[in-house]
Amino acid sequence: MKRVAIFISALFVVAYGAQAATVTFVPEQNIVESGDTVSVNIVGKGFTEPVTGGGLRITFDSTVVEVSPDASLPSTDNTGSIEFASRWNTGLNSNSTPGIIDNITFNVFPIADSPTGDFFIGTVMFRGLDAGISALELTVLPNFPFGGPNGPIDVDLVNGQLTTVPVPAAAWLFGSALVGFGFMRGRKDSSLATGR
């Protein structure tokens, strides 16, 4: 009897853990070349209760990546029911802290349209700077936790990672070879025209 109780308890823990609400980056890992941009989606997964809103902060290594100047969250999602309000604190102006995107918040109106299951929260575009690895760390805003009609929703956060790689040396060598061939052809064409 005792083994049955332990087994049922273990099943409950596994079933409960499998249905945890999660906020994560998709894809969780990205590689970007220096100077190029990459889009990273923020998504909610496995929400069993309707979500009426929530707030996040993203931190990253500002020596490896920066938020692309054209980065923005939409004012609404594609259904028109999720409204975003964000203050991009990205290092793009003198009053911001590099390496932080602060106060990414959203609300759902009307509450009947509140998403469950998996849903899209937003997209952030990063630009690669120097070679290295930057963690993308999510934090729920303490003054704007995830919630629904039944109260606060506990959320597990899955952090991401961006790796910036330098432009391959082979690309530079190939480019310089093309320029050299073009220069040589130009000299050949001019020597034919002058008869030398």
Is the residue at 48 inside a domain?
Answer: yes
Is the residue at 117 inside a domain?
Answer: yes
141: helix, strand or coil:
coil
40: helix, strand or coil:
strand
Number of structural domains in the chain: 1
Kindly indicate the confidence band of residue 151, based on its pLDDT and cuts at 50, 70 and 90. Answer: very high
What pLDDT is attached to residue 161?
95
Q: What does the mean pLDDT of the chain come to?
A: 75
Q: Would you say 89 and 137 are in contact if contact means Cβ atoms under 8 Å apart?
A: no
Q: Tens digits of per-residue pLDDT, 112-140?
A: 888 899 988 888 888 999 999 999 999 99
What pLDDT is attached to residue 12?
40
Is the residue at 148 inside a domain?
Answer: yes
Indicate the pTM of the whole model: 0.69
The residue among 2 and 30 whose pLDDT is bigger is 30
What pLDDT is attached to residue 184?
61
188: helix, strand or coil:
helix
Q: Alpha helices, DSSP H only, in the chain?
A: 2-18, 169-194
Q: Would you say 42 and 23 are in contact if contact means Cβ atoms under 8 Å apart?
A: yes
Is the residue at 121 inside a domain?
Answer: yes
Is the residue at 69 inside a domain?
Answer: yes
Is the residue at 53 inside a domain?
Answer: yes
Q: Is the pLDDT of residue 108 over 90?
A: no
What pLDDT is attached to residue 105?
82
Kindly state the percentage of the chain with pLDDT values over 90.
32
Kindly indicate the confidence band of residue 80, based on its pLDDT and cuts at 50, 70 and 90. Answer: very low
Q: Tens digits of per-residue pLDDT, 11-44?
A: 343 344 445 899 999 989 899 999 998 988 889 9
Kindly indicate the confidence band of residue 110, based on its pLDDT and cuts at 50, 70 and 90. Answer: confident
CATH number of the domain within which 74 lies: 2.60.40.680
Kindly state the percentage of the chain with pLDDT values over 70.
62
The residue among 154 and 96 whose pLDDT is bigger is 154
Q: Tens digits of per-residue pLDDT, 161-182?
A: 999 998 775 555 556 666 766 6
Please state the rounded mean pLDDT for residues 151-160.
95
The residue among 172 and 154 whose pLDDT is bigger is 154
Overall residue count recorded for the chain in this entry: 196
User: Can you give the residue range of the structural domain that contains 51?
Assistant: 21-167
Tokens of 129: 């700077």
DSSP secondary structure letters along 104-121: EEEEESSGGG---EEEEE
Is the residue at 64 inside a domain?
Answer: yes
Is the residue at 173 inside a domain?
Answer: no
What pLDDT is attached to residue 11?
38
